[in-house]
Structure 1
């Protein structure tokens, strides 16, 4: 699961017993050599799906980590790109590794996604692999925050994958991981919020609509199709709606 350049078992254990913020500060130098980094195939598929709607002016990578999504935005946005994350360690790695030659300027901001330090300054917000760090009750507020930093008509986009079926080993792996995290958080403080099974598409779509988005789903055919004909992966593209003026 982890190569020789990745974190050791001891390092992972120390991270798991830390807060989310401090845990990622510790993991940051080796994060890109773990399975937790968003694979390049996912980034490429999302970039391809978003390209027809662009080019965009200003982009934001929400919970940017080491900057994989930020780098993607430099190919979609022509004016500016910003990465925001609450881990200083992850941002430091991102600053070193994302240095586009030409193209839009890139800025890095330390901040909490639940209280974004921006006005309505972006045309596109993306996020990759971060939603497991938010409890279900936090998602409505998160979606409202994203809407508040988008210009009217701006998009909030992220990939979602169909959950594995019980007959597959991945189903039980994720179930076991979430159960272990719940036990850990019941016995140890500070909590480390990372759950893979709490981000349910139907609830997410309802939450986005309640927050003032119009939502469209696009299949990502690069990842194939399930036996029932549904895509294994989709791009959620939520557009900020402009409220109708009062009659």
Structure 2
């Protein structure tokens, strides 16, 4: 839900009629008071999985926004944590609100496009929370290749993924309606604002990660509930760059 101090309807409308980059620059000061920020109920289960896989030396939060994933990385990384985002406004808010401490790991904030990451293979862990709807399906292979390129051999790419809504359910119709509105908006208005929730399908994502060269495993997140058939509502993807590649 939106907090009383969150963006007004007018502010959200202006954001929605902007580009992705400009829209988030405008939203940044109030972003943490919106439902778009990844909640602790998602961060905590992913952190639990990461603790079983780590510790790690260097971690990257891909499309970090104001830094919801930065604190998760600080719990499991010993030397270096980096947040990267295309929005200078989001990075500025994250940098200003981040806890400062002399203890490791050091935290860096870098403005860059996730489709052209300015890093060598120096990370042991890359995480991302809630950003993949901003990339069209045809962009995902390049995005995954970028992540692969900045990981050391044996490094992990970790992110939560929600099971598709059951056809005919309220969630299914809500997501279908949202994506339809976005497609109409982008057909009629420029610049485009890319945010599609139904295009990030687990089976497609898993296949694309494998084609990129990752070994892919899924871990259930039972804290986030079960579907009517008993399967998890949410899993965490652990994609590993194999040693030697």
Q: What is the TM-score when the length of structure 1 is the normalising length?
A: 0.96
Please report how far the alpha carbon of residue 52 of structure 1 lies from its aligned counterpart in structure 2 after TM superposition: 1.1
Does the CA contact (< 8 Å) of 1:74 and 1:100 recur in 2? no
**Tell me, what secondary structure is at the counterpart of 2:75?**
coil
Structure 2 residue runs without a partner (length 5+): none
CA distance in 2, matches of 1:19, 1:34: 19
Aligned ranges 1:181-220 → 2 under 5 Å? 181-220=182-221
Please report how far the alpha carbon of residue 43 of structure 1 lies from its aligned counterpart in structure 2 after TM superposition: 0.4
Worse overlay, 115-124 or 165-174 = 165-174
Aligned ranges 1:1-247 → 2 under 5 Å? 1-101=1-101, 102-242=103-243
> Residues 155-203 of structure 1: CA distance to partner in whole angstroms, max 9, x if unpaired?
0000011122234322211111100000000000010000000001111
Does the CA contact (< 8 Å) of 1:161 and 1:233 recur in 2? yes
- Residue correspondences, number: 244
Please report how far the alpha carbon of residue 100 of structure 1 lies from its aligned counterpart in structure 2 after TM superposition: 4.5
Structure 1 residue runs without a partner (length 5+): none
CA distance in 2, matches of 1:84, 1:20: 15
Worse overlay, 169-178 or 6-15 = 169-178
Large movers: runs of 4+ above 3 Å: none
Q: How much is the aligned-residue C-alpha RMSD, in angstroms? A: 1.1
Q: What is the TM-score when the length of structure 2 is the normalising length?
A: 0.97
